[in-house]
Structure 1
Amino acid sequence: RIDRAFICTDFDCLLGNCRLSALERVESDHCPIMIEWGFEERLHRYWKFENMWFLDESFIANTSEWWNCQPRGVGDLFLFGQRLRMLKEKIRKWNKEEFRKVDVRIAEILAEIKMLDGKEEDGPISVEDRSRRDTLKYDLDKVLLMEEVAWRQKSRENWLKVGDMNSRYFHGVVNHNRRRNFISSLKFNGTPVEGQSALKAAFVEHYSAVFKEEKKVRPFPASYGGVTISDCERNSLVRQFSEEEIWMAVRKCRGDKAPGPDGFSLEFFKKCWDVIKSDMLKAFEDFFIKGELPICIAHSFLCLIPKKESVIEVKDLRPISLIGSVNKIISKVLTERLKPIMSKLISGNQFSGIRGRQIHEASLIANELVDSRRKSGKPGLIFKLDIEKAFDNVNWECLVKIMASFGFPPAFQRWIHGLVSSAHLSVLVNGEAAGFFKIGKGLRQGDPMSPFLFNLVMDVLSMMLERLRVAGLITGFCMDEGNRRGEVTHLLYANDTIIFCDADEDQVMNILATIICFQTVTGLRINVEKSKMHPIGSVDNPDRLAAMFGCGWSYLPTVYLGLPLGASPNSVSVWNPVLTRFQSRLEGWRGKFLSLGGRLTLASSVLSSQPLFLGSICKAPKSVIGKMEKSLRRFIWSGVQDKGRYHLVNWQLCKALKKEGGLGILDMASMNSALLSKWLWKFATEKEAWWRKMISIKFPNPSSLWKAGQIDGRIGCSLWKSIAKEESCFWKFAVVDPGGGAWVSFWQDRWNHGMTLGESFPRVAAASALPQGWVSEFVSFSSERGVSWNLPLILSLRGGLKERGVIYWISCQTFLLVRFHVVLAGLCGRRVQELASLYAQCTNACVARSFREWRISRSSQYGDRRFLRKLMDLLGCSFIIALLPMTI
């Protein structure tokens, strides 16, 4: 990796298909480096719809004419696919004969403008020539925009919008991606294969074997034991497809994603919906009846994405399916029907693809479990499982049986089985399609439905592990290890599985036996060689335990779901991977291709993606924030992050909001604090969430349902302790709406738009016999009667406070014997006419002081006594009697 060749950005734009290779070493320790270009074979890449065609005013009208002139039939899916194919031929012909290549049109316009400019140098030109030149300039701007749209679509860069003339940047991204994805040679089972033809044959043979099902019939438990869906939910799943439902599914799909074999992007269906919608509805009616897809619709491409920088073997590639547009729309419609019931069906341990659950919740629970187990001193084990080719090995018959056990209607089962079993694949090798074969198992990555179906399959493992726990065959980690409360045996995020158990050989064998049963039932395979065991505490025999499971082992900390597990959240080292990715996204070649506005957009995009994933659950140290902001400043002003340049504007002003005169760059420290505070908001609002119940067990707070309990002791690897530090800042801006008051603490929650009552009246709260009482125990809210204070407030007061309340009540009736002059001498020296004035007017009296604190103003139309009586009628006599004397 130390032998390198350097090229300039102009060379990259001009000869983007160059390739770097190392020659044999002869005398030196270094390899000679050779750069080649023009080496690519003539590849037959498949046709793709260009979104730039929509910028031509005649395209929509032409599409409508081409679509409607085609022969119509019964309107089934097969005919719809054939009409798309014929439309593709019409568009291809139009592009070649009328629209033509964009670079050719740009060259022609520039040549004509140059001719007119030269003509003007020789003498005055006519009005017609001037008008023609203005028209050409307008056409040039339009064609340049088309070019930018085309390169952006090829680059798949979604953070930067068109319109800033960043074609050069998009071109550089395309060249960079092509070099990274190009496969010149690869090893298959240890045998190197070179050349496009040989690679195509090898890939087809490999993936034909991967998707071939060896055991079509697999055992399945007679009783699954999961929840079932209701009759109303069943009817909703199999209702007729409507135009609105299909249109909403089309709108939710991104229009610039890579298309499937038909070549049409989803942007085409969005822009031409009025043209094709009637035929699309007929195609959905055909699927509703038959429940299967014809080959022209079910055909998909297998796109190979490198998992790492250097691709050596076929396992270093990730296969992603590019499914056809109609197939994707059908799958999206069924997915939208399935989404609302997934949270009911899937256990709380699964955090992927379920509405209302997030990846950070799994990391939070895992770290809290590890923290509790460490502090208990009891040894334990963590197993991180690696599921080999997870989506590719799902058995279809098992999937249908799982759906039947959940109570899915037979029609919906038939639709799902038809979608997954009708798939045919071709492999894209360097952009060229190879082979055509039917698959016998697996779910296609890239299908909107696949993550949800995979969750149904993984729930079988969750059910098996839960049964082991109930039977006492394994013991998980607990949030409250002392009382064995909040026990968790496993966490799932799609195929990322982590299992917790005691450091016991029997438990390890029970887990291994369960995994074998799971593999037999579902077809999924656990790669034990890539799986890992992590001991916690004093484990006597980690080597033996790992050997029994067949995996390696290492001590914590480790990484789970891309986030630290078992590490101190305050450690700078957990941010090192983030800093590496952050700096790689601000590579120098990107800055040189971008305008200042483009660099600003990229900087904002990187700042809002890379560090905020970890920043959503860990507090970023000041040194880390300083390094990231330094790289950002240099990248924005100079285009590179390792070379300084004069900063034209103060950085604090750059971070200011645009409406305040700034550039709107995110303040990392403030955003980090806001993301951590969001957990406090989620804790207060998501009362039924599984993660919240776990946190409440570890940090109980009986006096409030909106806040977790107080946290004592050292932080360890607890993430919630870092989150809880934001509580004081969060509750300055958050107010609890009491509603009926049944779940709002009277003293501890901030429900009165100020400080909590416990903070405002600490002596009263300390004297109350109900220090953990709810608002509903003190106050009644009624639409007819308004607010009324309840008797338990008075009865809860202790000792002399109750006696002083009675004295105050007597004084309000002016029956209390008192020497006014003595009182005046001891207080403010002002003359009062009656006893009520003593409470209402005297600046040193606690009643008047309370009025000021509560912002209660006395109306001039009332005397002092009438004002106090009016206040008693408004707030309730018992409240005035009980509360005001206690502030003395």
Structure 2
Amino acid sequence: MSKLDSIGLRKLECSLGRRGIDSVVRSAWMKQVQGSWAAQRLRGKLLNVKIALKKWNIEVFGNVDTKIKKGSQRRNQIIALKMGERMVEEVYEIKENAMLVGDFTEEEVWCLIRESDGDKSPGLDGFNFAFLKRFWPLMKRDVMDLLVEFHTNLKVLKALLSYFVALVPKVSCPQVAAEAIDYAQKYKKSIFVMKIDYEKAYDSVEWDYLLFMLRGCGFDERWVRWMEGCVYGGTLSALVNGSPTAEVGQLPFKHLGLPLGANPRKLSTWKPILDGLRKRLSSWKHRHLSIGRRVTLINSVLNVMPIHFLSFYKAPNSVIKENVAIQRDFLWRGVKDGSKIPWVKWEMVCKSKVEGGLGIKDVRLFNWALLGKWVWKNMLSLGMLWAKVLHSRYERIESFSNCSDVDRRASWWWKDIVCVL
């Protein structure tokens, strides 16, 4: 079925045990829906239930979607068919074509639902078998009408075979997109950036050959047509910015963890990074940490969290000061409220242990070192796409000569690289 907006039904096992869900589902299911086909009516009713449960879930459990970090994957296989009291595993054993193409009975449909694992992850429509088991008396008439239509017409309504694909950004360096957007902004150019590189698994299957083999194995033509109806005719839509109806042209937007189109000189661009550091500190609030463990956490966590941003943008002085203040307060007072006098200058703390310091990275120098790596990469990777983009725009990537002469319309990234030389 179509993949509509997520409603947090990955937590259906919790929802089904909650009082009040029966009345919510029944009320939504009984609403009038339009459609001359049973498949259209069933899809409309499922959509009504989705919308009602989404609202109900938020009222009862809060926003479940924001709490779910990882989803489980499932792999469905048909390893055998049950023929009476025996299991048939080989195609050539299937000779009861009359049974295969017989009418779908309510008993066999319910048997399938009842024996299915209700705790498995939901399918594309968001409903798992636990939901179907619970509300089968309410849904069975509409489901059976759908199956009767399928049995007669030998095909599935296209609306039930539509799905969305979330495009995964795939580029060697996010600065390729950043340079294109920066150029369009500086030179007042219109731009539409979209790179699609995907192939459906079905595209690699020769379906005509598969159907030919099914017929050659002796399957009834009606049954073969059913299989064809299930795998043919699906429609695919791409999600842009996470939505099938996303507005195009909004800047900045996040791409591979970086806010493209944002000004890295503004504190607001770095606010998510600083907020993330403070949030991580709050998670350690109830832990007793020695000063040695604090040093370790500063180097292994607090200095690592902003490394992606620091690798592409030169942090403003205000951001460096705020970052240092967070690290300094954590080092001397831990996660306790209040203030504590820092007895040693931060410059001394950032020196190596051999020089009498604690070996904490100096954020400013660390930022410069990360940006300086691009100079070395540019020298060795002239054939890379991002290097070609820079060379095409600035025409002096090989030597970085005349570093003080930077076009005012150059990108922030290029200015930052030149600035650290």
* Residue in 2 that maps onto 1:677: 372
Structure 2 match to 1:707: 400
User: Which residue among 615, 635, 645 is the counterpart of 2:310?
Assistant: 615
Q: List alignment gaps of at least 5 residues for structure 2.
A: 1-6, 22-60, 76-168, 207-231
Deviation at 1:647, TM superposition (A): 2.4
Mapped to 2, the partners of 1:708 and 1:400 lie a distance apart of: 54
2:263 counterpart of 1:568: yes
Compared CA separation, residues 194 and 601, structure 1 to 2 (3 A):
farther
Length-normalised TM-score, structure 1: 0.26
How many Å apart are 1:313 and its aligned residue?
4.7
Any idea what the Cα deviations from partners look like across 1:720-750, whole Å, max 9, x if unmatched?
Answer: 12211122xxxxxxxxxxxxxxxxxxxxxxx
- Identify if the C-alpha distance between structure 1 residues 709 and 365 changes in structure 2 by more than 3 Å, giving closer, same or farther: farther
Distance in 1 (CA, whole Å) between partners of 2:237 and 2:203 is 14
Counterpart of 1:376 in structure 2 is: 187
Give yes or no for the alignment of 1:527 onto 2:239.
Answer: yes
Q: Does the Cα contact within 8 Å between 1:618 and 1:719 map onto a contact in 2?
A: yes
Correspondent of 1:693 among 388, 398, 409: 388
Structure 1 residue 655, shift from structure 2 partner: 0.6
Equivalent residue number for residue 413 of structure 2:
719
Residues of 1 paired with 2:363 and 2:307: CA distance? Answer: 8
Please report how far the alpha carbon of residue 396 of structure 1 lies from its aligned counterpart in structure 2 after TM superposition: 3.8
Residue pairs, 1:343-362, within 5 angstroms: 350-351=170-171, 357=172, 361-362=173-174
Query: Which residue of 1 is the match for residue 64 of structure 2?
Result: 312
Give the secondary structure class of the aligned counterpart of 1:559.
strand
What pairs up with 1:63-82 in 2 under 5 angstroms? none
2:298–2:327 contact (8 Å) kept in structure 1 = yes
Q: CA deviation at 1:615?
A: 0.7
Q: Structure 1 residues 521, 580: CA separation in 2 closer, same or farther (over 3 Å shift)?
A: farther
Distance in structure 2 (CA, Å) of the matches to 1:687 and 1:558: 28
> What's 2:277 paired with?
582
Partners of 1:718 and 1:688 in 2: how far apart? 22
- What is the alpha-carbon distance in structure 2 between the residues aligned to residue 594 and residue 629 of structure 1? 19
Alpha-carbon deviation of 1:374? 2.5
The residue identity in structure 1 corresponding to 2:266 is: S
Q: Report the Cα distance in structure 2 between the residues aligned to 1:529 and 1:190, rounded to whole angstroms.
A: 27
Residue of 602, 607, 615 corresponding to 2:297: 602
Report the alpha carbon displacement of residue 660 of structure 1 after superposing the two structures with TM. Answer: 1.1
Q: Post-superposition shift, 1:607?
A: 3.0
Q: In 2, are the aligned partners of 1:695 and 1:708 still within 8 Å (CA)?
A: no
- Relative to structure 1, the CA distance from residue 376 to residue 647 in structure 2 (aligned partners, 3 Å threshold; closer, same or farther) is closer
Distance 2:8 2:186 in 1: 49
* Matches of 1:688 and 1:400, distance apart in 2: 35
| 1:645 equivalenced with 2:340 (yes/no) | yes
The question of whether the paired residues in 1 share the 8 Å contact of 2:262 and 2:269 is answered with: yes
SS at match of 1:695: helix
2:329: which partner in 1? 634
Q: 1:167-193 CA deviation, whole Å, 9 max, x = no partner? A: xxxxxxxxxxxxxxxxxx964699971
Asked whether the equivalents of residues 398 and 521 of structure 1 are also in contact (C-alpha less than 8 Å), the reply is no
Instruction: For 2:346 and 2:66, locate their aligned partners in 1 and report how far apart those are by CA, in whole Å.
Output: 47
- Asked which structure has the greater RCO (Cα within 8 Å, sep 6+), the reply is 2
Q: In structure 2, what is the equivalent of residue 509 of structure 1?
A: none
1:256-295 matches, cutoff 5 A: none
For 2:318 and 2:336, the matched residues in 1 are separated by 17
More strand by share: 1
Matched, 1:555 2:250: yes
Aligned mates of 2:252, 2:241 — CA distance in 1: 20
How much has 1:555 moved relative to structure 2? 3.2
Distance 1:663 1:396, change over 3 A: same
Give the distance between the partners of 1:628 and 1:635, measured in 2 at CA.
11
Which amino acid counterpart does residue 193 of structure 1 have in structure 2?
A: S
SS of 1:556's partner is: coil
2:70 aligned counterpart, secondary structure:
strand
What amino acid maps onto 2:242 in structure 1?
K
1:719, distance to aligned residue in structure 2 (A): 1.4
Aligned-partner residue type, residue 178 of structure 2:
N
Deviation at 1:372, TM superposition (A): 1.7
Task: Please tell me whether the aligned partners of residues 657 and 663 of structure 1 are also in contact (alpha carbons under 8 angstroms).
Answer: yes
Contact 1:599 1:639 (C-alpha < 8 Å) held by counterparts = yes
What are the within-5 Å matches in structure 2 for residues 7-156 of structure 1? none
8 Å CA contact 1:653–1:661 kept in 2: the answer is yes
Q: Quick check: which has more Rg, 1 or 2?
A: 1
**Residues 311 and 595 of structure 1: is their aligned pair in 2 closer, same or farther, counting only changes over 3 Å?**
farther
CA distance in structure 2 between the aligned counterparts of 1:640 and 1:646, rounded to whole angstroms: 14
Q: Structure 1 residues 674, 320: closer, same or farther in 2, change over 3 A?
A: farther
Q: Is the 8 A contact 1:559 1:565 kept in 2?
A: yes
> Relative to structure 1, is the Cα distance of residues 660 and 525 closer, same or farther in structure 2, using a 3 angstrom cutoff?
farther
Residues 1:603 and 1:529: Cα distance change in structure 2 (over 3 Å):
closer
Across the two proteins, how many residue pairs are aligned to each other?
257
Q: State the shift of 1:384 in Å.
A: 8.8
Query: Distance in 2 between the 1:670 and 1:651 partners?
Result: 13
Instruction: Please give the residue correspondences for 1:401-420 in structure 2 after superposition, counting only pairs within 5 Å.
Output: none
- Give the 3-state SS of the residue equivalent to 1:319 in structure 2: coil
Shift of 1:600: 1.7
Measured in 1, the distance between the counterparts of 2:261 and 2:417 equals 16
* Identity level (%): 30
Q: Quickly say closer, same or farther: Cα 1:350–1:640, change in 2 above 3 A.
A: same
Preserved contact between residue 264 and residue 270 of structure 2 (Cα < 8 Å): no
The CA distance in 1 between the partners of 2:285 and 2:11, in whole Å, is 37
CA RMSD of aligned residues (A): 4.2
> What's the CA shift string for 1:336-388, capped at 9, x where partnerless?
xxxxxxxxxxxxx943xxxxx4xxx22x1112111222333332334598x9x
